[in-house]
Amino acid sequence: MTDSKITELLARAASGDPEAAAAFTRARAVRLRAAERVSSSGRAAALRMLRRAS
């Protein structure tokens, strides 16, 4: 989902649209999980590189 769609959902949710609020919450959760996967993947890769260098 693009930032403009998320912004639109947030605006609709702020104006009292419960379906938009639920969709925004789901989209935000998906983005947070994806960011965490990238972070943990990066940490794992860094640890592998450090182990190989030792």
Mean pLDDT calculated for residue range 2-8: 84
Reported confidence tier of residue 1, pLDDT bands at 50, 70, 90:
low
In 3D space, the residue among 23, 42, 35 whose CA is nearest the CA of residue 10 turns out to be 23
pTM above 0.85, yes or no: no
Mean pLDDT calculated for residue range 19-38: 92
For residue range 30-46, what is the model confidence (pLDDT) as tens digits? 999 999 998 999 989 99
Domain boundaries, the chain: 3-53
Is the predicted pLDDT of residue 2 greater than 80, yes or no? Answer: no
